[in-house]
Amino acid sequence: MNPFYFGSSKSPLYGVYHPPRAGEGAGKAVLLCYPMGAEYMRAHRAFRQLTTLLVKGGAHVLRFDYFGTGDSAGEGTEATVARWLEDIDVAIDELKETAQTTSVTIVGLRFGGTLAALASTERNDVEQVVLWDPIIDGTQYVQDQLAAHEGERRRRGGPANAETAGVHGFPLTSAMRAAIEPIDLLTWPGGNSRIEIVTSAEREDARDLAGRLAARGRAVRAQVFPSNGNWAESDAFGSALIPQGIIQGVLGCVLGDKVTSA
């Protein structure tokens, strides 16, 4: 495991690169894209576990923090969707160089899945993109975030329609809201990657997305792995969610028959 900073020296990104376990041989290179806000904290341990399993299966793994999140440079209020998409581009190149591969798989959870999809569109070196409980409807997602903010605002006060809304401890700026709201993955054309949509429960919008992508001639598969998927929940003590069923599902999507057990 190698924790390091990469990208622009003015606003470096924090990442942790995990080489494949010795003796497993060179395998896939997998980039993990976290969700945003409090969901990032809640998912950190699940990403560690997924990483451990991928590495055992012979994969190179890079997980990293977008600008303004985690240990990367910047304040949360400075983050933008456009910058995060650039960050994924930079991370893909970093991973390819480190792992000495020509293509990568991207696994993104929740809004990280949405970003992974969008970032893969124009690239020819993303072999596979795995959308794990993805946010498909940006408008609905922002509404859900604002509902959480409103609950806190009622308890603690603060102006309605604030420029920056606090959502479970993380800032959501009006610029970020404006960038997320128009996102509708149902209109996403898909790119050159194989697309896996994995959800922890049956979701009509996920089936719809898979159907539309298939109709556009994309290689797509949608699977359900019944698990806890309440990523948006938050508590006062910072519990983590580690949904074993869907972690194994994601692992299967990435490694195929090379799946190892925990």
* Binding site residues, other proteins, CB under 8 A: 1, 3-5, 12, 14, 16, 38, 41, 44-45, 48, 69-71, 73, 76, 152, 155-156, 158, 164, 166, 168-171, 227-228, 234, 236-244
Distance CA 80, CA 173 (A): 9
66-69 long-range contacts, Cβ below 8 Å, gap at least 24? Answer: 66/13, 66/34, 66/36, 67/11, 67/13, 69/34, 69/36, 69/40
Q: Which two tokens stand for residue 232?
A: 């948006």
Stated as kind and residue range, the H or E segment containing 92 is: helix 81-99
In the complex, least distance from residue 44 CB atom to other proteins, rounded to whole angstroms: 5
Give the full edge-to-edge strand order of the sheet including 104-109: 2-6, 13-18, 60-64, 29-33, 104-109, 126-132, 194-199, 220-224
Q: Which is nearer to other proteins, 195 or 250 (CB)?
A: 250
Q: Which is nearer to other proteins, 117 or 172 (CB)?
A: 172
Distance CA 117, CA 131 (A): 7
Q: How remote is the C-alpha of 2 from its chain's centroid?
A: 20
Q: Which is nearer to other proteins, 130 or 148 (CB)?
A: 148
In the complex, least distance from residue 197 CB atom to other proteins, rounded to whole angstroms: 21
Residue type present at position 220: V
In the complex, least distance from residue 86 CB atom to other proteins, rounded to whole angstroms: 20
Q: Which is nearer to other proteins, 22 or 215 (CB)?
A: 22
Q: How remote is the C-alpha of 155 from its chain's centroid?
A: 31
Q: Which is nearer to other proteins, 102 or 244 (CB)?
A: 244
In the complex, least distance from residue 168 CB atom to other proteins, rounded to whole angstroms: 6
In the complex, least distance from residue 183 CB atom to other proteins, rounded to whole angstroms: 24
Q: Which is nearer to other proteins, 14 or 141 (CB)?
A: 14
In the complex, least distance from residue 115 CB atom to other proteins, rounded to whole angstroms: 19
CB contact set of 98 (below 8 Å; sequence gap of 6+): 17, 60, 62
